[in-house]
Amino acid sequence: MEDMYSIGDVARRTGLSVSAIRFYSDAGIISPTGRTGAGYRHYDIRAVAGLELVRTLRELGASLDDIRQLLAEQITLPDLATAHLALVEHQLSRFQARRAVLRTIVRQRSTTAQVSLMHKLVSMSDDDRAQLIEEFWTDVTDGLDVQGFFVDYLRPWWPTLPTEPTAEQLEAWIELADMVQDAEFREAVRRFFAETFAPAAARGPQTTPTDDDVEQQVAFLTEAKAAAEAGVPAGSPRARELAGRWVTWMAARAGDPNTADVRRRLVDADPGPHVARHVELLGRYSSLTATVNGVPQPHTPGAPASVWLHAAVANMAK
C-alpha cells in the first residue's frame, strides 16, 4: 500500500506551514489524497511533490491562477518536474541577465541613461543582436574595395551569444554592444579600414584589384594566420614555402619578373605600425567577441597574419 503522510509530516517535508497547506487545499490547488477515520487530511507522495512544486512556483512569482491551470492538466510526476525545471531555468536566465547589468553598473559607474540601455542590450533577441553586429560591419566597411571575401574573413569577429550564456558572456556582450553603437568608435574603425583598403580609384587603375586578387590575398592571410596561431616559426621551411608563393604571386600581379626586388620591397614595407594601430583600435573588440563566443582569447598580438608573413619573407634570404 502506498505511504500516506499527515499534514504535519507534509509541512516538514515541503517547508510549507500547516495553514498554507490547508489554504492550498481549500483553494483547490492541491487537495489531500484522503482523510483518516477521524477526518484528518493525509497526502500521498504525488500530492507532496505537487505541494513542493506549488511552493517553488510561488517563490518564483507564479500566481495561483497560473498554478491552478498548470495542475489542471492532470500531468504525471515527471511532467511536474519538467515544468518545475523549465520555470527555474527561465528564472535563472533572467537573474543572470540582471546580475550582468548590475555588475556592469558597478564596474563602469554607469548613469541612469546607461542603465536603461544596458537592460535593453541584454534583453535583445538573437535576431536583434545579429542585426546590430551586421549593421556595424556594414557601416565601417561601406564603400571598400573588398567585396564579399573580406566580409567572410571577418566572420570570426561576429559575436554569437549562446542560448545559456554565463554572466561573463552577458557582461562582455553589454560592453561589446555598447562599443559598436558608439559613433566615435565606428568612425575610427571606418577610417582605419578606408586607409587599409582604399578604393581602387584612389590607387590608380593600374593597381585595381580584381575579385580573384582579393580572394587570393585573403587566402594567403588566412593561411598565415593559421600558421602564426599554431606557433609555426617564421624561419621554418613551411613559412618560407608560403612566403615564396606569396612573393611570386605579388610579383606576377605587379608585372615584375624580378622576384628578388619584389621581396625587398615587401620586407621594407614593415606592417608593424599598422598592426599596432589595429590592435589598439580593435583589440578589445576581439577579446570581448572571444568571451561572448566562448573561445580562447586571441593570441598576444605579436604575430598576426601580416606580421608573421612579413617575417617569413624576411627570412627567405637567410
Predicted pLDDT at 245: 93
Domain boundaries, the chain: 5-74, 124-317
Predicted pLDDT at 299: 61
Predicted pLDDT at 80: 60
Predicted pLDDT at 185: 95
3-state secondary structure of 144: coil
CATH of 5-74 among 2.60.40.1180, 3.30.9.10, 3.30.70.100, 1.10.1660.10: 1.10.1660.10
- Region at 294 (left for phi over 0; alpha for psi -120 to 50; beta for the rest): left
3-state secondary structure of 5: strand
5 beta partners: 43
Predicted pLDDT at 134: 86
Predicted pLDDT at 115: 63
CA trace torsion 153, 269, 309, 241 (10° rounding): 120
Predicted pLDDT at 127: 81
Nearest-5° angle of CA 190, CA 191, CA 193?
Answer: 65
CB 274 within 8 A of CB 196: yes
pLDDT digits (tens), the chain, 318 positions? 578 889 999 999 999 999 999 999 988 898 899 888 888 889 999 999 989 988 988 886 677 877 887 777 755 657 766 776 777 777 776 676 667 667 766 766 656 655 665 666 667 777 888 888 888 988 888 877 654 555 566 666 788 888 777 778 888 888 898 899 999 999 999 888 887 765 443 444 445 566 677 778 878 888 988 888 888 998 899 999 999 999 999 888 888 888 888 888 888 887 777 777 877 888 899 899 989 899 887 765 445 788 888 889 988 866
Predicted pLDDT at 53: 86
3-state secondary structure of 71: helix
3-state helix/strand/coil string of 182-222: CHHHHHHHHHHHHHHCCCHHHHCHHHCCCHHHHHHHHHHHH
Pick the closest to residue 234 from 202, 260, 205, 271 (CA basis).
271
Alpha-helical segments (H) within the chain: 7-14, 18-26, 45-59, 64-71, 77-108, 112-122, 126-140, 147-153, 167-180, 183-196, 200-203, 211-229, 237-254, 259-268, 272-293, 305-314
What contacts 9, CB < 8 A, 6 or more positions away?
Answer: none
